[in-house]
Amino acid sequence: MKARVYFSPNTLDEIDLRDKTIVVIDVLRASTTITYAMNAGAREVIPVGSVDQAMKIVGNLFSTSTILCGERGGKRIEGFKLGNSPAEYTKEAVEGKALILTTTNGAVALTKAKHARHCYIGSFVNLSATVRALSELSDLSQTGLVIICSGREDDFSLEDAVCAGLMLTKLSEKIPEMELTDSARTVLSVYREYGHDIYGTLTQSEHGKYLTSIGFADDIKTASEIDSVPIVPVLEQTVIKKKISF
Ligand code: MLT
């Protein structure tokens, strides 16, 4: 089974991801937030790439149980009900609701995965659950594994690479015959360098510093809590409806 990592979704062609097993990681913050939302009982999350598209979908649905969520520049989009802070995604706010979510990088990465065989949303908060879900797939050796780090501004982000490195470290304990591409070996070594202090690494990352500067320091703490949410959100084509619970 071959494991490959991409450091940004932007150059990826969705056709190249057809029939692959994919994990999309956006530690700060979309994959953490989606995991919180599904754990709090959201009926579904529909990730979309643009604000216009989000408005169009909500307009077509005519439903009071559908809410607009997302960020630009890390802040809630004007007129939207929720931003992209996991703290907002409580049971009261999202239970039974369909969430149309647009974020700068994470939601874009998810839109590329619509032809995947399996697509899981991974982060530190559901790390072991994601590894377990992957290791229980009966067809992983045929599909191979592609981890998409959502990155930041079309570029590499340290927090996603460290998370991918920890995920592959744990997965290789379960699947020792896993074949590592150069990108996979790179995240393993990034994890060895930075994995001893996940919270510190997130705080010192470029996006962590930015989030702190706009008042979201608590989200960094939340996002660094390994295995605090034992579920794996699953994207099926264009919608996250299902979650695997452990
Ligand atoms: C993104 O998708 O770019 C992020 O989740 C940004 C954020 O921190 O809200």
Number of structural domains in the chain: 1
The span from the CA of 174 to the CA of 26, in Å, is: 24
pLDDT in tens, 138-157: 999 999 999 999 999 889 99
Q: What three-state secondary structure class fits 161?
A: helix
Residue 62: its pLDDT value, please?
65
**Does ligand 1 lie within 6 Å of residue 202's CB atom?**
no
Residue 243 belongs to a domain: no
**For a pocket test of ligand 1, which of 103, 121, 152, 154 has the largest count of ligand atoms closer than 8 A to its C-beta?**
103
Q: Please give the full DSSP string across 56-97, using - where no structure is assigned.
A: HHHHHH--TTEEEEEEETTEEPTT-SB-S-GGG--HHHHTT-
In the reported structure, the alpha carbon of residue 84 is separated from the centroid of ligand 1 by a whole-number distance in angstroms of 7
In the reported structure, the alpha carbon of residue 173 is separated from the centroid of ligand 1 by a whole-number distance in angstroms of 30
Residue 72: its pLDDT value, please?
97
In the reported structure, the alpha carbon of residue 151 is separated from the centroid of ligand 1 by a whole-number distance in angstroms of 9
Backbone angles phi, psi at 154, to 5 degrees: 65, 20
Does residue 61 have a pLDDT over 80?
Answer: no
Residue 220 belongs to a domain: yes
User: CATH no. for residue 180?
Assistant: 3.90.1560.10
Residue 245 belongs to a domain: no
Q: What three-state secondary structure class fits 2?
A: strand
**Does ligand 1 lie within 6 Å of residue 9's CB atom?**
no
Residue 246 belongs to a domain: no
Closest listed residue to residue 234, CA positions, set 16, 23, 2, 8: 23
Locate the ligand 1 atom nearest the alpha carbon of residue 30 and give its number: 5
**Does ligand 1 lie within 6 Å of residue 70's CB atom?**
no
**Does ligand 1 lie within 6 Å of residue 28's CB atom?**
yes
In the reported structure, the alpha carbon of residue 32 is separated from the centroid of ligand 1 by a whole-number distance in angstroms of 10
Residue 205 belongs to a domain: yes
Closest listed residue to residue 244, CA positions, set 234, 235, 236: 234
Residue 242 belongs to a domain: no
pLDDT in tens, 77-124: 999 999 999 999 999 999 999 999 999 999 999 999 999 999 999 999
Locate the ligand 1 atom nearest the alpha carbon of residue 71 and give its number: 9
Q: Look at the alpha carbons of 68, 73, 79, 82 in this order and tell me if their dihedral is positive or negative.
A: positive
**Does ligand 1 lie within 6 Å of residue 106's CB atom?**
yes
User: By the 8 A CB rule, do 4 and 17 touch?
Assistant: no
pLDDT in tens, 159-184: 999 999 999 999 999 999 999 999 99
Mean pLDDT of 34-47: 98
Locate the ligand 1 atom nearest the alpha carbon of residue 31 and give its number: 5
Q: Look over the chain and give the mean of its residue pLDDT values, rounded to a whole number.
A: 96
In the reported structure, the alpha carbon of residue 130 is separated from the centroid of ligand 1 by a whole-number distance in angstroms of 20
**Does ligand 1 lie within 6 Å of residue 160's CB atom?**
no
Mean pLDDT of 191-196: 98
Closest listed residue to residue 109, CA positions, set 66, 164, 55: 164
Range of the domain at 120: 2-237
